[in-house]
Structure 1
Amino acid sequence: MTKVNLKLNIEDNDVIITALKTGDETAFDEVYRYYFRALCGFCSQYVGAAEAEEIVQDTMMWLWENRTSLIPHLTLKTLLFTIVKNKALNKISHLETRRKVHEDIAQKYDEEFSSPDFYLHNELFQLYGTALEKLPQEFKQAYEMNRNKQMTHKEIAVSLNVSPQTVNYRISQALKILRIALKDYLPFIFFIYDFAFHLKF
């Protein structure tokens, strides 16, 4: 990451875009500080505060990772707010889909899900625990802080003394590895993220 000791005018869109394209860390920090709270407030119209913060963190991570493909005269403000809105709407759609899947599976397996033995001995959760233990330590740590302790990406970043982007990456990689490990249990995958992290393996 390139860092330039230069005071940038955040209002000068073309200059900021050009700086981002060259990998200027100072430009990215300016954009992050200038837009973060406003984007979180905007996003919270659609989702909860914690989810809004994660969406904005993810959007900022996307901005940095895709900086070289930015169009010079692109309006950065419009881009960021549009991405955040779309991510929030997708999140709402995902939650509604997950709720429907929950209802369908719960109805189909009502008797089995009502038994405590299902949560104590079911193979799915045993496999989940095994897959979790195999995660790289830094991925597992960030994932468990988020899932078990309900910490936001920003809180985890402060605790581990790393950037929010690093936390975002570690958690996304952990989820990716878990999904691959549990690919044969996709009908139950939604239950894993709702229930399994409350259990001890």
Structure 2
Amino acid sequence: MDKYVVNASLIADINKGNERSFSLLYNCYYTYLCTFATTYVFCPEKAEEIVNDVFMRIWDNRASITFPIHFYLLQSVRNACLNYLRMLRNEQNAMDEYRLLLLDLHENFCLNDNNPLSLLEFRELERQVQMVVETLPAKCKKIFEYYLYQGKSSRQIAEELDININTVRVQIKNALDRMKAVLGPKIVYLLSFLLSGTFFK
């Protein structure tokens, strides 16, 4: 990102509907904002979609944008990420109680303006999660792997393994309790694995 290219003159041109100037703004900020959004939603594809939607809204309201625009862009993307998390929170039919709890935790985390994990910290967390999974008892490990890595619901796991759904729920809770004991406050980042199927594949 070369934010120094984005100056008052460029924004004034965008106000007038200059598409070339808007493309310059887009190209300067796109990768940076996608990276920023990914630290909130943990899914690069969704982050790209969110950033593109933000830029579409900016173009639609181009006459009203002002310079400096850097923090406005960050705030717009952050708000869009929160709206996405809230949308997931409202789609209760697609989630079980554990995912809803983690979504609540993550939304509160974002609202409190804590800094998201850096990429290196996130990769380290991935490693820690995998290590904890490997220490779980065999039955618990198998159920939790279905839940964590394949995104299956408690009911789906119960049907696939032909076991009682309450057994599945107990094993998932045991695994999450173990994760919480090891990861502490970073338990919120388990949401990353529940929202995206791109890890550990």
TM-score bracket, shorter-length normalisation: 0.3 to 0.5
TM-score w.r.t. length of structure 1:
0.45
TM-score w.r.t. length of structure 2:
0.45
